[in-house]
A and B are shown apart, each in its own frame.
Chain A
Amino acid sequence: MPVANTILQLFPAERRGFWKRTAACEKDIQEIRLRAYRPVVIHMGGRELFLDSNGLFLDSPLHAYSATPQELEGLLKHICHYSLYAFEDELRQGFITVSGGHRVGVAGQAVLEDDGRLRSIKNISYINIRISHQVMGAADGVISYMYGEKGLKSALIVSPPGCGKTTLLRDLIRQISDGGAWGRGMTVGVVDERSELAGSFCGVPQNDLGMRTDVLDACPKRLGMLLLLRSMSPQVIAIDELGSSEELEQLFRAASCGCKILATVHGDCLRDVERRFGVGREKWNQLFDVGFLLGRRDGRCMMRELIRMGESDA
């Protein structure tokens, strides 16, 4: 299904005429932001655009179209198949992954349980649609660094937000899973806690992660890694956005079972990551063979540095 279609399908029939023009520019759109009584903002090709009342692009927010709370409510109902209760857990997390792998983030008024836990979000007045773009071949430049004499290496992708670490990891998974001139295809287990890698919708991956990939969707990484190890015996475990010491511990456990590890982590450099986790370089070197530090230059995502880590067989 063309992406323009999946973007247009997010909207109810009566609003499709308005969104047609925006959906036609699917390749360049990164985000569509709707806020109650505020101008609709489109992030496209590094620029911020607005829409007029006919859905045509404007450069300035003056005379721009503003979304109404009713429109946001209708949009959310439509996205949730008129069954918001079925997406309660996702809404509690603040986002829903929809057909096409796009992510719909929501914000509004929090409803808390007696013990202070978040029960749900009501009066949803902010919707952020992040358009999923699988970049086939995003890992072409790094795949050669992934293989050594002993085969596949474990890799850590370090990057600040918005520099393409998830895109790179997604394509690495696909290429490692499918195999090719660089190596034989391998069984990859993906714990996709935020449904960003596979973009699963109703359990079906919307992105191509390769033919030998098993995805555990919407499962906390800490639990998911153990579950995948037991159930799917993967040769490679992949996770996005390593965030806690517990997850790091589970990665060590997976590595001790003979799995290769692919992981991404937020950070400006490896030292920044070491500091945040309170774990020294030596430990990281035990787990990973190679690291990729990503960044941006002239608005484009790129690899800033190749970090030699464990590399026992390099």
Chain B
Amino acid sequence: MLRGVGGVMIFAGCLGLGMWYRGQLLGRVRALRQLKTILELLAGEVRYGRATLPESCRNVAARLEPPFAGALRSIDSVMKENTGESFAGVFRDRMREPLAALPLKEEDREAFLQFASESGYMDGQMQLRAIERSEELMAGTVEKLERENTEKCRMAVGLGAMGGLLLILVLW
């Protein structure tokens, strides 16, 4: 009886590990999509509203959920306080925390933050291109991950289950 319970627990644990890994893979795609949406909204504000970057952050915040809504709102507040810090510095600083909470790789975070360092163009089209470049980098990663993920997810869950069974057999 005890052996049976132990076996079930080992199987459940290994399967869970596989599921967790699958979740991580899918979570990165979800997070990248979320960041891409933020960039699309910012680009929309620049394109149609001719809003300044801090203003765009405030307007976009109204359409987002926490923690990004709070972070974007605080970027606008800090820029309004006018402490003399650059937009790039404030954007990086305020976005650090919400980005750290997402299952992203460092390169994803950098791709998202890249446009902020390229602020200050005289021409609106150039500023839009800077945002779109970040967007394209993320879209490329999402596309690549989606291609690979179906296989990887199946393999993660499968390996988890098989590993569990193998462990049960070894320990039986």
Which A positions have Cβ atoms within 8 angstroms of B? 9, 11-16, 77-78, 80-86, 88, 91, 99, 120, 122
Would you give 20 A-B contacts (Cβ < 8 Å), ordered by A?
A: A9-B84, A11-B84, A13-B84, A14-B84, A80-B52, A81-B54, A81-B87, A82-B86, A82-B87, A83-B54, A83-B87, A83-B127, A85-B46, A85-B50, A85-B121, A85-B127, A86-B50, A91-B122, A120-B123, A122-B122
Residues of B close to A12: CB separation below 8 A: 84, 86
Residues of B close to A83: CB separation below 8 A: 46, 51-55, 87, 119-120, 127
CA distance A80 to B127 in the complex (A): 14
Q: Counting CB contacts under 8 A, is B98 at the interface?
A: no
Across the interface, do B53 and A82 meet the contact criterion of CB distance under 8 Å? Answer: yes
Of all chain B residues, the one with the shortest Cβ separation from A11 is B84
- Distance in angstroms from B98 CB to nearest chain A CB is 21
Of all chain B residues, the one with the shortest Cβ separation from A119 is B123
Across the interface, do A81 and B84 meet the contact criterion of CB distance under 8 Å? Answer: no
Across the interface, do B121 and A13 meet the contact criterion of CB distance under 8 Å? Answer: no
Across the interface, do B84 and A78 meet the contact criterion of CB distance under 8 Å? Answer: yes
Across the interface, do B53 and A81 meet the contact criterion of CB distance under 8 Å? Answer: yes
Interface centre among A9, A15, A77, A86 (most CB of B within 10 A): A86
Tell which of B51, B82, B83, B84 touches A86, judged by Cβ atoms closer than 8 Å. Answer: B51
Residues of A close to B127: CB separation below 8 A: 83, 85
- Distance in angstroms from A99 CB to nearest chain B CB is 7
CA distance A35 to B168 in the complex (A): 79
Residues of A close to B87: CB separation below 8 A: 81-83
Interface centre among A9, A14, A84 (most CB of B within 10 A): A84
CA distance A124 to B87 in the complex (A): 21
Residues of B close to A85: CB separation below 8 A: 46, 50, 121-124, 126-127
- Distance in angstroms from B44 CB to nearest chain A CB is 14
Residues of A close to B106: CB separation below 8 A: none
Of all chain A residues, the one with the shortest Cβ separation from B86 is A82
CA distance A167 to B52 in the complex (A): 30
Of all chain A residues, the one with the shortest Cβ separation from B116 is A82
Interface centre among A11, A81, A91 (most CB of B within 10 A): A81
Of all chain A residues, the one with the shortest Cβ separation from B49 is A86
Residues of A close to B88: CB separation below 8 A: 82
- Distance in angstroms from A205 CB to nearest chain B CB is 17
CA distance A85 to B129 in the complex (A): 13
CA distance A182 to B53 in the complex (A): 47
